[in-house]
Structure 1
Amino acid sequence: MLIFLLGSALTYFIPGKILIWIVTFVAVIGVAYYIHLKKRNSYFAEKGIPHPPINSLFLGNIPEYEKGLQQHLKLLEWEKTYGDTYGIYEGSHRVIVSSDPELVNEVLVKQFHAFRSRKLFPSAANDQENDSRMNLFLAEGNRWKRLRALISSSLTVTQIKSIEPIMHGVMKEMMSVIEQKRAADPDGIVDFKPQLMNMGFAIISRSALGFKEPFGESKSLELLLETLGKKETVNSWMDSFFASTYEFLPVTKYLNFFAFFSVVFKFIKLSNKMNKLLDKREKETEEEKNARDKDFIDFLMNSTVDSSEIQDSQKAMLDIKVQKKLTRSELAGTCVMFLIAGTDTTANTTGFLLYDLAVNKDIQQQIYEEIEANIFSEEDMTYHKIKELDLLDRTIRESSRLHSLATTIMGPP
């Protein structure tokens, strides 16, 4: 009935011949797009690569893959069925999944210069090559190499040692909050996860960005958690649209403004806060600079230049040498990247470690004895002293191996 009424309305306002041409045009486009989708979803079959059956003509395997947001378990399940190398369709993205050590070594080591960008999220409509706001996670090719070289050079042992007082201060604040919550609970039970998130955010925001927010009361952390809160693609018409139309990026990248009303809007608010911080830093006098603690952003700001001074090669292979410079837009993106990349992963790594120690009390006791034998006071809690705790180091590595983080963020390190 609705279609009949709509057709009648169109007939009333649009002359018959023009309406026929419009309907014919839409029908031809629809059939052509349907054929395109069928062809797109036959890629792996044509290449002889095993793959699970698609759930959606538009979204490929995304509905099943993201169900329950436990993608890592679904990949393991498919591996048992299709072998150590298989393909999946993330909407428009054709993804090869492999646990074959030789193939992984070929891609990430031997042919590293050719595989030069990180896999995007399915719903991302980012122009990795030309968008001025790209950060280390989203950049590709020689821009990625330039940003990585610069950021890596800022994360030196000297820089890490310089933030030890900040880390000690945050730990004292966290332990104070935990003691208060333990005393307030009748059973003395404390949920550590929120406090670990507060800890990770406080250390990174204070040491990297110079934030001065009270522990556990940061509005920026609330924004960050909202930004990280990922939903299944099928539950968002916007994400579904971008995931299924990536091959039309030259057009869809201009539709990104719609995303400002969703998660990306929160990301923009974080970016705006970073820009205000950078504006304030640029206006500082020498006296003001010397009166505060130095952080990673000070180092990166010294390497900031106008975009006209940066020439990233667009050739397929990575350059041997790159400029250790970045633009103001890239600097703002890097600030947000520090928060996003560090807060959640630091909290989760620490949380998994605490869990593993709780269920392996013999290892917990051995680590306690190792700490007692090497750390005698707060002054001993330094980079070099902690580095000497071999059992603790091996336990952290094993816990990280058992509980992989950010499993859907794949690409060059």
Structure 2
Amino acid sequence: MSFSLSTVFRPLTRAVTYTRWLHQLIASVAGTLAGFVHGGTFRSTGMEVWLWIAVLPVPVLLAAALIPAVRRVEGLQAQLLLTPGPHGPEERAGTGISTTPSLSWRDRGRTAGWLLLRLAVGVPVSALTVQLPVLSFAFLQAAAGHRTHFRGLPAIDAPHGWYALLVPLPLVVLLAVAVAAGSLMAAAAGLLLGPSAAERLAVLEARTERILEHNRLAQELHDSIGHALTVTVLQAGAARAAGSPEFTDRALAAVEETGRQALTDLERALRLLREDVPHPAARPVLADAERLLESARAAGSTVRAELSGPLAALPGPVSREGYRMVQEALTNVLRHAGPVPVSVRIAADADALELEVRNPMPASPAPFAVGRGLRGLRERAVLLGGKAVAGPDEDGEWRVHARLPLARLR
């Protein structure tokens, strides 16, 4: 029994019950103002006044629904008054109620339906909010032995003490109606003010973009940190084997430079993941490719490079992704073949950018099994409309080759 009573009385202890009630009372304001403008409305008797309040503002509400900003105002009001709990940006986004202006005639039609529903529910609730407490007072007066006749209510000409039993009944009915109407309006808000198909598609696209961006950042961190660790391990091993203070100094300088660049890439990726930083650090481009070549040379490889074409004028996406592709190819060489001679060709013309990295195959080809790095290299090329291949060629060398079209990106 206690559980049943708590279930019945729980809505009366929730703030949202009363904010929803306020939301319904606000709906009758437009009708009240229209009644004052119309003149003579409030000289009517009984329920005629409320009927006028319900009818007079209909044309105005239909016209207001055509204004795009009205949907935004109604959505904000519904979020604040009809939904329980905190109302921060994240909580409001989870209410299922949109706060964007009308973008189509369908949105305007749904807004019109919402305004008319607010009026149809709000006016009766407002009428009951006014009349039912008066009825309770009339019962109280009748219980005290006084005849009563309030406007809009039937007269009580035969007062009696038993009317005291009826005093709480109108208030109970009023609370029940307010709770039920509030729940109805909260459910209707999700249907009539919920996101349109275009809004849901936009949200889905934005979420997809964020996922793709996070995947791209993960790939970049894999390339950058993997390259830095590979160079560091090779430098440390070479310095210990060489036993030369001069070589050790050079190796430590190369480790320092590579680590600094990796930390810069890591900080840039972390800043991108923070929404409060609008301008992350610039990403490296192919014009900075000499940094990669020097890093490979410092690791002990003999690098023969051929750079041609207007690399500095390449489109940003191509130049940035091209840098990462060369970085991954060189990291793959150092990790699996060691400090071997490497040939790097970066050539740009009006039509395409070509990247090629060659190196002698190690004694055992097994380490060159395709992993995440080479898969990522191919994915980068495909996203830019190009193609990348990696594998042994007819000369017995390991070859990574990518061609990225430029004509459609200019």
TMscore range, shorter length = under 0.3
Q: TM-score, normalised by structure 1?
A: 0.21
Q: TM-score, length-normalised on structure 2?
A: 0.21
Higher relative contact order (CA 8 A, sep 6+): 1
Task: Point out the structure with max Rg over C-alpha.
Answer: 2
Q: Specify which structure has the higher proportion of strand.
A: 2
